[in-house]
Amino acid sequence: MEETTADGRTVTLKDLASELGIHPSTVSRILHSGSEVARGAASVATAERVRELARKRGYSPDPQAAGLRTRRTHLMGVIVPRLSDLVLAIMYEGIDEAAADLGYSTFVMNSRDDPEEQRRKTDSMLARRVDGLIIGDAHLDSGLLQELAARKVPFVLMNRRVPGFPSATCDDVLGGELVADHLWSMGHRNVAVIAGEPYASTAVDRTAGFVDRWRALGGKIPRNAVVWSRFDTAGGREAAETILAHCNPRPTALFAVNDFAAIGAMGALRSHGLGVGRDVAVVGFNDTSLAAELPIPLSSVRSPMLDIGRTAVQLLKRVLDGREVESVRLKPVLCVRESSDFVTSV
Amino acid sequence: MEETTADGRTVTLKDLASELGIHPSTVSRILHSGSEVARGAASVATAERVRELARKRGYSPDPQAAGLRTRRTHLMGVIVPRLSDLVLAIMYEGIDEAAADLGYSTFVMNSRDDPEEQRRKTDSMLARRVDGLIIGDAHLDSGLLQELAARKVPFVLMNRRVPGFPSATCDDVLGGELVADHLWSMGHRNVAVIAGEPYASTAVDRTAGFVDRWRALGGKIPRNAVVWSRFDTAGGREAAETILAHCNPRPTALFAVNDFAAIGAMGALRSHGLGVGRDVAVVGFNDTSLAAELPIPLSSVRSPMLDIGRTAVQLLKRVLDGREVESVRLKPVLCVRESSDFVTSV
DNA sequence: ACGACTTACCCAAACGATTGGGTAACCGAA
DNA sequence: TTCGGTTACCCAATCGTTTGGGTAAGTCGT
């Protein structure tokens, strides 16, 4: 409601207090705590009058003033590589929802995966006095996290993990293993991986899970069959071109650690006259809403993106409450579709 | 940098002042205004000493305290249907960037296009004391905007417009016209429109632009060839199914007011054994990064999403400065690709 | 030598909420 | 009667900045 007084100002505690002829602190105590502190602070009758008036005048506390006094803003800062990455956008929706449930609001900023920008945005968040940070763009090789920890900034990681820090992620290793099992069982023996950016644990873990399981099954993966790439469509296309140019014999299956890269790869295959889901199998990761809707539906590892976001919020809340936290790895599920649903013979 | 004092608190104006043996207000005046107010407030030498110490101690002003005093938060609230809609995510990137340039931070919230939720999020933003709102989910039939205007809340619209309020949008009517011209010139005479949600000006304007121009060219569009739908892939698929089921003769071209709906439509066509870009032309809208990368590249109207976001910020800034604002409609460009790049005969 | 300016500061009151520490009034028990 | 304990409040300081209004000291003009 957020009403204003006759003269246009927003309603304050003092307004309520003077209208009822009681002291602002009493009003604060009544409105502040559900009932615990209120009990003992005022009579039931007064409490009711206060609450009634607050509702009537549409009082809403000023978070600036409260924050100034209490030194907490009830704000969580979220840093992601880019919100136009569907995966991060969905995680953010989970965050937004879970944070609202806990009475927190969230700030998001894009770092474009640029270390310089990560620093700037982090500082910008801290200048805004966020209570804590959810970092969705952690690089495995960056010192930023150590610094933050040294400065005792409360934070948790999301999406990507870094050993030694609490994080909410998908079990990416397992995801890679699921794909290895699937492709192996469909008869593929000659595969390649579009591996993503080597600074991101998502890329590294998915690739490692796949490669290690593949070898455990008795398969071989030559060094040049693992191609690091950007996470977007163009990156996937380029990686696929590289694979087609250098791998001999040509792989019968591609695992891209990201749906967008997979879509790019499908485009490249098609340009080379290869039938996706017939000549070459393609499997992506994340099962974004597009995967199932593509002209040739894309097999993909479904990661619980909303839950990852929600979990990150819960972890950060625990950190803010000074409790112990442990990293959470949520289980993915493989969704097999037309793009890899054919048996090939050795 | 955001440093802390020996005892772990963050550095305040008072800390700087007492270390230099001057009054906090003097420090404030020096740090506050670039040079205008500083001139006359302190000697050049003192000013330099203050700035030097501020840098050394990593002083950053507390926005809570400043906001409490000045009654402005330097916060812009942004409300979008959903950030997982790539179009809105990109506009938000434009906002984020432009707002940062002006010294503002932004809050985003998802309303899921639900009127109830729009109210809740708006209130939540105002409770946070944002200086103004950028509304990206305006419904043509909602009273919310009138209420906000009556309450003198500073706001501008983005993405969707509503007559009577300032907005930053794509010239959607023009976009629709471009598609009509294109399809007509390729020889199509029998077309259908996947029109989107009727409460969104984007959908209405694009459809109107297309239909009006089509008729102006001498074409006909039966009533059942315009199908309202959701904006996502599934919505596009359903709408295409409806069109295929009810339109006789079958259209040779489909215009979807949104790339995702277009992708869904391509899926539906394919399931019916129709070749996109051979039997049926498909044109989408927004030219999201996917359009060009699809197995069959999708023709699409490119809308300047980043600029729309940036413009919205500039408009809101003008409103906050108490200046006059006029709505801005940015020009789109048609990108023709394989999905509609064939000539058909009548 | 006197007033008028200017320079370079200081003072104190806000902004709105929170919170540790009162205290007056009343009740019941010893 | 006195004391302890409640109940139902009030008081005042505090968070970190900002800002309107001082004022003492120095400069300049006459």
Parallel, antiparallel or unpaired: strands B299-302 and A226-228: unpaired
Assess whether A54 and A201 both reside in one domain: no
Q: Are A195 and A207 in contact (CB under 8 A)?
A: yes
In which band, very low, low, confident or very high, does the pLDDT at B295 lie, cut at 50, 70 and 90? confident
Residue A346's pLDDT is what?
57
Spacing of B69 CA from C3 C1' in Å: 39
The answer to the question of residue A153 being in a domain is: yes
CA distance A220 to A346: 13
The answer to the question of residue A264 being in a domain is: yes
In which band, very low, low, confident or very high, does the pLDDT at B5 lie, cut at 50, 70 and 90? low
Assess whether B92 and B144 both reside in one domain: yes
Residue B111's pLDDT is what?
96
Out of A92, A109, A293, closest to residue B233 by CB: A293
Average pLDDT over residues B183-198: 98
Average pLDDT over residues B189-213: 98
pLDDT in tens, A21-77: 999 999 999 998 665 555 667 788 889 999 999 999 999 999 999 999 999 999 999
Assess whether B295 and B198 both reside in one domain: yes
How confident is the prediction for chain A on average, in pLDDT? 94
Assess whether A148 and A97 both reside in one domain: yes
CA–CA distances in Å: residue B277 to residues A219, B224, B227, B338, B344:
41, 23, 21, 6, 10
Quick check: A28 CB within 7 A of strand C? yes
A62:B82 CB<8 A: no
Q: Which residues of B touch A154 (CB under 8 A)?
A: none
The answer to the question of residue A69 being in a domain is: no
**CB-side neighbour CA atoms (13 Å) of A108:** 31
- The two counts, helices (H) then strands (E), for chain B are 12, 12
Out of A8, A123, A295, closest to residue B295 by CB: A295
Q: Which nucleotide is nearest to B15 (CA to C1')?
A: D16
| Secondary structure of chain A as H, E, C letters | CCCECCCCCECCHHHHHHHHCCCHHHHHHHHHCCCCCCECCECHHHHHHHHHHHHHHCCCCCHHHHHHHHCCCCEEEEEECCCCCHHHHHHHHHHHHHHHHCCCEEEEEECCCCHHHHHHHHHHHHHCCCCEEEECCCCCCCCHHHHHHHCCCCEEEECCCCCCCCEEEECHHHHHHHHHHHHHHCCCCCEEEEEECCCCHHHHHHHHHHHHHHHHCCCCCCHHHEEECCCCHHHHHHHHHHHHHHCCCCCCEEEECCHHHHHHHHHHHHHCCCCECCCEEEEEEECCCCHHHCCCCCEEEECCHHHHHHHHHHHHHHHHCCCCCCCEEECCEEECCHHHCCCCCC
B64:A151 CB<8 A: no
Assess whether B183 and B269 both reside in one domain: yes
Quick check: A246 CB within 7 A of strand C? no
| Residue nearest C18, CA–C1′ metric | A69
Assess whether A48 and A164 both reside in one domain: no
CATH of the domain at A96: 3.40.50.2300
Parallel, antiparallel or unpaired: strands A281-286 and A299-302: parallel
Q: Which nucleotide is nearest to A26 (CA to C1')?
A: D9
CA B171 distance to own-chain centroid: 13
The answer to the question of residue A3 being in a domain is: no
pLDDT in tens, B253-273: 999 999 999 999 999 998 999
B64:A67 CB<8 A: yes
The answer to the question of residue A158 being in a domain is: yes
Residue B293's pLDDT is what?
81
Classify burial at B218, counting beta carbons within 10 Å of its beta carbon; exposed 0-12, middle 13-18, buried 19 or more.
Answer: exposed
Average pLDDT over residues A221-245: 95
Assess whether A181 and A282 both reside in one domain: yes
Assess whether B180 and B164 both reside in one domain: no
Q: How far does B30 lie from chain A, in Å, by closest CA? A: 19
Quick check: A21 CB within 7 A of strand D? yes
A2:B126 CB<8 A: yes
Q: Mutate one of B13, B71, B83 to test the A interface: name it (highest A CB count within 10 A).
A: B83
The answer to the question of residue B105 being in a domain is: yes
Residue B209's pLDDT is what?
98
Q: Which residues of A touch B126 (CB under 8 A)?
A: 2, 60
Looking at the DSSP assignment, which residues form a beta bridge with residue B227? B194
Helix (H, G, I), strand (E, B) or coil at B1: coil
In which band, very low, low, confident or very high, does the pLDDT at B33 lie, cut at 50, 70 and 90? low
Task: Report percent pLDDT > 90 for chain B.
Answer: 88
| Residue nearest D8, CA–C1′ metric | A42
Average pLDDT over residues B32-56: 80
A63:B110 CB<8 A: no
Quick check: B22 CB within 7 A of strand D? no
Element (H, E) at B105: strand B105-110
Q: How far does A107 lie from chain B, in Å, by closest CA? A: 5
Assess whether B204 and B152 both reside in one domain: no
pTM over 0.85: yes
Indicate the length of chain B as a whole number: 346
Q: Is the pLDDT of residue A332 over 70?
A: yes
B237:A293 CB<8 A: yes
Q: Is the pLDDT of residue A99 over 80?
A: yes
Assess whether A51 and A127 both reside in one domain: no
Quick check: A14 CB within 7 A of strand C? yes
Spacing of A52 CA from D25 C1' in Å: 58
Average pLDDT over residues B164-179: 98
CA–CA distances in Å: residue B32 to residues B37, B38, B50, B51, B55:
8, 8, 12, 11, 14
Assess whether A29 and A117 both reside in one domain: no
Classify burial at B9, counting beta carbons within 10 Å of its beta carbon; exposed 0-12, middle 13-18, buried 19 or more.
Answer: exposed
- Structural domain boundaries enclosing B185: 172-303+333-340
A83:B65 CB<8 A: no
Spacing of B29 CA from C11 C1' in Å: 15
Sign of the Cα pseudo-torsion (B264, B266, B267, B272, in order): positive
The answer to the question of residue A5 being in a domain is: no
CA–CA distances in Å: residue B84 to residues B70, B126, B239:
35, 24, 21
Residue A43's pLDDT is what?
80
Quick check: A247 CB within 7 A of strand C? no
Assess whether A97 and A162 both reside in one domain: yes
Q: Where are the alpha helices (DSSP H) in chain B?
A: 13-20, 24-32, 44-57, 63-70, 86-101, 115-127, 144-150, 172-185, 201-216, 233-246, 259-271, 305-320
Q: Residue B325: which residues within 8 A CB-CB, separation 6 or more?
A: B156, B166, B315, B318, B319
Paired tokens of B23: 């009054």
Average pLDDT over residues A167-195: 98
Nucleotides of strand C within 7 Å of the protein's CB atoms: 7-21
Task: Report percent pLDDT > 70 for chain B.
Answer: 95
CB atoms within 10 A of CB B215: 12
The answer to the question of residue B4 being in a domain is: no
Q: Is the pLDDT of residue B244 over 90?
A: yes
pLDDT in tens, B70-109: 999 999 999 999 999 999 999 999 999 999 999 999 999 9
Q: How far does A329 lie from chain B, in Å, by closest CA? A: 23
Q: Residue B289: which residues within 8 A CB-CB, separation 6 or more?
A: A232, A233, B86
Q: Is the pLDDT of residue A97 over 90?
A: yes
Out of A2, A107, A126, closest to residue B105 by CB: A107
Q: Which residues of B touch A290 (CB under 8 A)?
A: 233, 263, 290
Helix (H, G, I), strand (E, B) or coil at B33: coil
Q: Is the pLDDT of residue A290 over 90?
A: no
Report the number of distinct structural domains present in chain A.
3
A107:B110 CB<8 A: no
Quick check: A3 CB within 7 A of strand C? no
Average pLDDT over residues A248-255: 95
